[in-house]
A and B are shown apart, each in its own frame.
Chain A
Amino acid sequence: MVKRLSDMQEVEANHLRRIECPTYDDTPALAGKPLAERRVVLISTAGLHKRGDRPFRPGDGSYRVIPAETPARDLVMSHISVNFDRTGFQQDHNVVFPIDRLRELVADGAMGSMASVHYSFMGAFPPDAAQPHATHLAGLLKQDGVDAALLVPV
């Protein structure tokens, strides 16, 4: 079981320690409706996209669009990093991109609804490269009636 970096394999931990993390002033957490009334978008940073879409490149802070009805067989991953497991995604896309789980939560009534379109960034982006894309995306999300985002790393 992976707990802290100190519990990981030394080479993996050292790799993660070398990653420079940005710092920000605290962002106030916004209040909102109960989950059963929210419309939720799934945003991955696994470098996912539809087969045939532009693969991600080093330094790429942009996102790819994944419509909710995208079949799992159309999803591929072009994250530049080789330092995470991909066999889980190869076996079951939901372990990275839990679109079917969100669908079930909507069916159960636990969650209000799901966005019509979901998104993926490629997590190795320099934050400055992603910021304008994320800010623009927020406007698109509002147009889709989205009032919550589930952010899933890889």
Chain B
Amino acid sequence: MGALGHFLERAGIPTTSISLVREHTEIVRPPRALWVTFELGRPLGIPDDAPFQRRVAKAALDLLARTDGPLIADHPEHVEEPADFTGWACPINLAPTAVDTLAAEIDRLATWHDRATARTGRTTVGVSGLDMPAAGRLLSQALEGELPEAQALKEAIDDLRAYYLEAASAFPDAGTPAMRKAWLWDETVFAKALLSLQPRLAASADPQHRILGNLTLIPATERHRLAKG
């Protein structure tokens, strides 16, 4: 991100930016940065809080008046930690059983995903161009047979991830995003499939498969699950 500030400003376009990782910004030194303490993935702070977001955007834009860069200004507002979710359990029976399959799980979530889409008027699913049963089949194929091309597999998996988390947001007692991510990794056949797939990708002769397996499949915070096998 910070690199773009250098490139554009040198080409004559004044820039201001938001910084999520102060240590990175201190190294890259873009012309102007507003440092925020929000969660990665949420540079404007709080979804559906327009006044909060507007204050962040305005604070970053106000830095354009300054010519004493490279500068990092600290945004004065923070987002409070979500409440501890110890003991929270997914309120409906979506947990896998011994006979459950990925296809059945994907199918069971469809009505919840419909509900989520109806509420927000949108979905972020749709990078791969596949419908969700087809995305699931591609993942199953990767587990059982020949590995598909890395990019197609990555897009299908990211679509499934978005589908699961959007669907879970429409559960009757949906909890916080952190709870829903915990549900995905603790409870679903989908997550088990990803964890099973990782060693296959990491051992592939195709470097794109290895990038996917080692870097862009399992979040750093969930990789401890791999060691457990």
Interface residues of A (CB under 8 A from B): 1-5, 9, 11-12, 14-17, 19, 21-24, 26-32, 34-35, 38, 40-41, 43, 45, 51-52, 55, 57-58, 72-73, 75-78, 80-96, 98, 100-102, 104-105, 110-111, 121, 123, 127, 130-131, 134-135, 137-139, 141-142, 146-154
Q: Closest 8 CB pairs between A and B?
A: A85-B41, A138-B11, A29-B69, A84-B41, A73-B122, A92-B47, A134-B7, A151-B17
A43-B8, A152-B18 given; 10 more Cβ-contact pairs under 8 Å:
A12-B221, A14-B220, A15-B220, A84-B39, A96-B44, A101-B44, A101-B53, A135-B11, A148-B14, A151-B5
From residue A131, how far is it (CB to closest CB) to chain B in Å? 5
Nearest B residue to A1 via CB reads B78
| Contact indicator B42/A96 (Cβ below 8 Å) | yes
| Contact indicator A94/B15 (Cβ below 8 Å) | no
Most B-side CB within 10 Å, residue of A52, A73, A89, A91 = A91
Does any Cβ of A come within 8 Å of B31's Cβ?
yes
Query: In the complex, A137 Cα to B71 Cα: how many Å?
Result: 24
User: Which residues of chain B from 15 to 68 have any CB-CB distance to chain A below 8 Å in the complex?
Assistant: 15-24, 27-32, 37-48, 50, 53-54, 56-58, 60-62, 64-68
- B41, B58, B66, B127: the one contacting A78 at CB < 8 Å is B127
Q: Number of B interface residues at 8 Å Cβ cutoff, please give it.
A: 96
| Contact indicator B12/A30 (Cβ below 8 Å) | yes
| Contact indicator A45/B166 (Cβ below 8 Å) | no
- A77, A83, A148: the one contacting B40 at CB < 8 Å is A83
Task: List 19 A–B pairs whose Cβ atoms lie within 8 Å, in order of A's numbering.
Answer: A27-B69, A29-B68, A29-B69, A30-B9, A30-B31, A35-B65, A72-B122, A82-B218, A87-B177, A90-B162, A94-B44, A94-B47, A100-B50, A101-B44, A102-B57, A131-B7, A138-B13, A149-B15, A152-B44
* Chain A proximity mask over B156-183: 1 for CB below 8 Å, otherwise 0: 0010011001100100000001001100
Query: In the complex, A23 Cα to B29 Cα: how many Å?
Result: 8
| Contact indicator A29/B13 (Cβ below 8 Å) | no
Query: In the complex, A145 Cα to B218 Cα: how many Å?
Result: 42
| Contact indicator A111/B70 (Cβ below 8 Å) | no
Query: In the complex, A121 Cα to B129 Cα: how many Å?
Result: 20
- B12, B43, B50, B56: the one contacting A104 at CB < 8 Å is B50
Query: In the complex, A138 Cα to B15 Cα: how many Å?
Result: 11
Does any Cβ of A come within 8 Å of B211's Cβ?
yes
- B48, B161, B220: the one contacting A91 at CB < 8 Å is B48
CB contact under 8 A between A77 and B127, given known A1-B81, A95-B45, A151-B15: yes
| Contact indicator A94/B50 (Cβ below 8 Å) | yes
From residue B97, how far is it (CB to closest CB) to chain A in Å? 26
| Contact indicator A153/B19 (Cβ below 8 Å) | yes
Nearest A residue to B71 via CB reads A29
Chain B residues with Cβ below 8 Å from A86 are 41, 124, 161-162, 165
Chain B residues with Cβ below 8 Å from A135 are 7, 11
From residue B68, how far is it (CB to closest CB) to chain A in Å? 7
CB contact under 8 A between A85 and B28, given known A31-B67, A101-B50: no
Most A-side CB within 10 Å, residue of B11, B48, B81 = B11
| Contact indicator A45/B4 (Cβ below 8 Å) | yes
Chain A residues with Cβ below 8 Å from B12 are 30, 138, 142
From residue A152, how far is it (CB to closest CB) to chain B in Å? 5
| Contact indicator A147/B14 (Cβ below 8 Å) | yes
From residue B34, how far is it (CB to closest CB) to chain A in Å? 10
From residue A87, how far is it (CB to closest CB) to chain B in Å? 4
